[in-house]
């Protein structure tokens, strides 16, 4: 049976009437038009559907929307402020860490959660932070250098 489910999406309250076991990924894309959240494997393996829920990284393709009731959800679109890209986004572009771009929203959100926790992440922490996000294009080295550069930039801007 369908239910009304309310949550905060990129800072604004939204309400949807859907079956609570429908995945958050499908609700975001099909019911709310947030196609910036990418649908890849839809089995919790690739990380392309990553969103931040209450400060934690979640694979939205395996997250029933009923569990989102009352939570605060951020998609990659929520990182832009007044049309300005987040520094992590800008540095990913500058460093050439984006190729096809399919993995990029998920990876950048994973990096955001990492850098919210520490602006001096070690190599192991960086690897761990993006370990759930598969990239078929870049070979990861540009992604790693972008993450390190973003950490330095955000540390010095604090
Ligand atoms: S689409 Fe969700 S993990 Fe792959
Ligand atoms: S840039 Fe294509 S999958 Fe990562």
Tell me the sheet residues that pair with 23. Answer: 64
Q: What is the pTM of this model?
A: 0.96
Q: What is the pLDDT of residues 20-68, one digit of tens each?
A: 999 999 999 999 999 999 999 999 999 999 999 999 999 999 999 999 9
Q: Which atom of ligand 1 is nearest to the CA of 134?
A: 4
As for ligand 1, residues whose beta carbon falls within 6 Å of it are: 39-42, 44-49, 59, 61
Domains and their CATH numbers in the chain: 3-79 (3.10.20.30), 87-157 (1.10.150.120)
Return the pLDDT at 157: 85
Average pLDDT for 4-30: 98
Task: Please list the alpha-helical segments (H only) found in the chain.
Answer: 24-26, 87-94, 104-117, 123-129, 141-157
* 28, 35, 40: residue to mutate for ligand 1 pocket, most atoms within 8 A of CB: 40
Contact residues of ligand 2, CB 6 A cut-off: 98-104, 135-138
């Amino acid at each position: 049976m369908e239910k009304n489910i309310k949550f905060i999406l990129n800072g604004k309250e939204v309400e949807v009437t859907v079956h609570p076991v429908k995945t958050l990924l499908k609700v975001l894309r099909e019911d709310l038009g947030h196609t910036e959240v990418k649908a890849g494997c839809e089995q919790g393996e690739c990380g392309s559907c990553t969103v931040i829920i209450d400060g934690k990284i979640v694979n939205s393709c395996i997250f029933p929307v009923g569990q989102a009731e009352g939570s605060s959800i951020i998609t990659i679109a929520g990182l832009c402020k007044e049309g300005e890209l987040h520094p992590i986004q800008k540095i990913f572009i500058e460093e050439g860490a984006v190729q096809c771009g399919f993995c990029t929203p998920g990876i950048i959100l994973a990096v955001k959660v990492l850098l919210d926790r520490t602006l001096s992440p070690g190599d192991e922490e960086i690897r761990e932070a993006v370990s759930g996000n598969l990239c078929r294009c870049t070979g990861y080295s540009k992604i790693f250098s972008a993450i390190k550069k973003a950490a330095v930039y955000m540390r010095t801007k604090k």
